[in-house]
Amino acid sequence: MSDSLPYGRQSIDEEDVAAVVAALRSDFLTTGPLVEAFEARIAALAETPHAVAVSSGTAALHSAYFALGLRAGAELVTSPLTFVATASTAALLGASVQFADVEPATGNLDPEAVAAALSPRTRAVAAVDFAGHPACYERLRPLCARHGAALVSDAAHSFGARRGGRAASALADLAVTSFHPVKLVTTAEGGAVLTSRADLALRARRFRNHGIVREAADFRASEIPGPWHYEVHELGLNYRLPDVLCALGLAQLAKLERFLARRRAIAARYGSALASIAALELPHSEPDTEPSWHLYVVRVREAKRRRDFFDALRARGLGVQLHYAPVHLHPVFRAQGFAPSRFPIAEDFASRALSLPIFPALRDGDVARVIESVHDAARAVL
């Protein structure tokens, strides 16, 4: 590993390289047999009957919200403590984005705050498995069901995580994940929509490919002019994930369990080695969950010390990052009336958070260096 340790990065080995090279030499570069093979593998791992591979996690969110019918007049309720795409893709469909505050322990959506944010126009609630800790689906599910709202899981951080003995991605009506290089496994760019509902999978699949309908049973033409015929009933985009990248994804998935085990081991090591730093709060995992540890987010107890701690860690070669600036405070959402203090728990979380390096290729020596640097920086500035 080079001098500076990033907060996350991909792990690519010779098998991954060989898989991509073989795909490049095949007859297909984009839509070919590896797309279906990749989808079958992610569906099995996610414990959902249907998986639709798309070109990014953002495309997955956009396709999922489209499938659920989010549009002008409908509302999405989501967490402010997430990447902007969880909210922006709903807004791009014309829906109104509402936020609900998070739980202080995990940074995940607080079901009580969600209950208060629901309105007759709420079409969907999107929980985010922050840092890889599955949200409280056993409480969100009945709440959404009573309200007639769909439950979406933004599982960009939690592919492979489990809660109550089930894959986190199987706990909502529809889950989306990302295969960006910092995520749990990578296809360079890529993502997927995961669902047990065939109707939602079909809508997402069509949206991914310009809205093109090829199923003869669904044609609206009174006469089919020939075998070339297809129809567009609703507009879509080109969100396809190419065969070449599915080849990389399949090779990566074979290593998912090993990657997760390594992340869990690093998290356990940080947990025991950093617990003595009184000025830091370490991440909390709930009972009966197996987080995927996409991020290892510590919180400085005093928000006003965070900047110095950030600088001190950067000076020691740790590529620490903030996940995330609260989404409702971006100017685009402020223009819709959101202001500071509206979601105090998420804002407090974000004002004190820092993500330490965690990724499978981090060696034991790197982990020791992170621990030493964190202790040293805490002594210096906390």
Ligand X SMILES: *Cc1c(COP(=O)(O)O)cnc(C)c1O
Interface residues with ligand X (CB under 6 A) are 56-58, 82-83, 85-86, 128, 154, 156-157, 178, 180, 191
Residue nearest to ligand X (CB): 57
Least spacing, CB of residue 179 vs ligand X, in Å:
7
CB 133 within 8 A of CB 161: yes
* Closer by beta carbon to ligand X, 61 or else 266: 61
Of 151 and 377, which has the nearer Cβ to ligand X? Answer: 151
- CB-nearer residue toward ligand X: 153 or 373: 153
Of the listed 163, 183, 328, 352, which one is catalytic? 183
What element of type H or E holds 356?
A: strand 353-356
Tokens at 193, concatenated: 């929509």
CB of 275 to ligand X, least distance (A): 27
Token pair, residue 345, equals 């728990």
∠ at Cα 307 (304, 350), nearest 5°?
75
Q: In what order do the strands lie in the sheet with 280-281?
A: 280-281, 296-300, 353-356
Burial track 191-207 (b if 16+ CB lie within 10 A, e otherwise): bbbbbbbeebbbbbbbb
Minimum distance from CB of 307 to ligand X (Å)?
A: 23
Closest CB 263 distance from ligand X, rounded Å? 15
Tell me, rounded to whole angstroms, the distance of Cα 204 from its chain centroid: 17
Q: How far is the CB of 60 from ligand X (least distance, A)?
A: 7
Q: Which two tokens stand for residue 102?
A: 């998070």
- Is 183 among the catalytic positions? yes
Q: Tell me whether residue 53 or residue 156 sits nearer to ligand X (CB atom).
A: 156
Nearer to ligand X, 213 or 247 (CB): 247
DSSP β-ladder status, 280-281 and 296-300: antiparallel
Pairing status of strand 191-195 against strand 50-54: antiparallel
Place of tokens 């592919």: 159
Nearest-angstrom CA–CA distance, 276 and 166: 33
* Min separation Cβ 281 and ligand X, Å: 21
Q: Name which of 128 and 350 has its Cβ closer to ligand X.
A: 128
- What are the helix (H) ranges across the chain? 14-24, 33-46, 57-67, 85-92, 111-117, 137-147, 198-208, 243-253, 256-274, 306-315, 331-334, 344-352, 364-381
Provide the minimum distance between the beta carbon of 79 and ligand X in the complex, in angstroms, as a whole number.
Answer: 9
Looking up tokens 């940074």 gives 107
Can you tell me whether residue 163 is helix, strand or coil? strand
Smaller CB distance to ligand X: residue 63 or 178? 178
What angle do the packed helices 243-253 and 33-46 form, to 10 degrees? 40
Active-site residue set = 183
